[in-house]
Amino acid sequence: MSAIDTTFGGLPALLITQWGRTVTFHKAAASSSYSTATGTVTQASTSYTTKAVVTRIMAAELNGTLQSTDYKVLLAPSQIGGNAVTTSDAITFTRGGSNVRAKVVDVTTLEGDDPVMFICIVRPE
């Protein structure tokens, strides 16, 4: 194991659990199915109720790919079944009393030998 794993490995999960809010992480299945009758693609997912830190994108972060309606979500791998986050996944959280389902559009993984934390950019669907 690398130094980040042994020194800081459990820290993100501890802080996110303490300071985060309850969200649902939707891990998309590796494969999808296509219905020839309806012409729709269906992709199953596994849901994890966990804690995450959710913030708005700051104006200074806006660029050609980020939008002012995007959110930044911090997740700990240990709280989502050890899964890696991909752009096929989604996150549901509460904002202003309403549920917001947002698709992951970008993810940065902080890691040593193993992932320590995911910084996800999500866009409401």
Whether 108 has a pLDDT exceeding 70, the answer reads yes
Give the separation between CA 68 and CA 2, rounded to whole angstroms: 37
As its CATH architecture, domain 3-124 has Beta Barrel (2.40)
Q: Which pLDDT value is given to residue 1?
A: 65
Please state, in angstroms and rounded to a whole number, the distance separating the CA atoms of residues 110 and 119.
8
Residue % of the chain over a pLDDT of 70: 97
pLDDT, residue 67, reads: 87
pLDDT of residue 33: 77
The greatest distance separating any two alpha carbons of the chain, rounded to the nearest whole angstrom, comes to 54
Separation between Cα atoms, residue 63 and residue 119, nearest integer Å: 17
Kindly report, residue by residue over 55-106, the tens digit of the pLDDT. Answer: 998 877 777 788 889 999 999 998 999 899 999 999 999 999 999 999 999 9
Write down the pTM of the prediction.
Answer: 0.83
First to last CA, the chain: 38
Rounded Cα distance between 118 and 72, Å, is 10
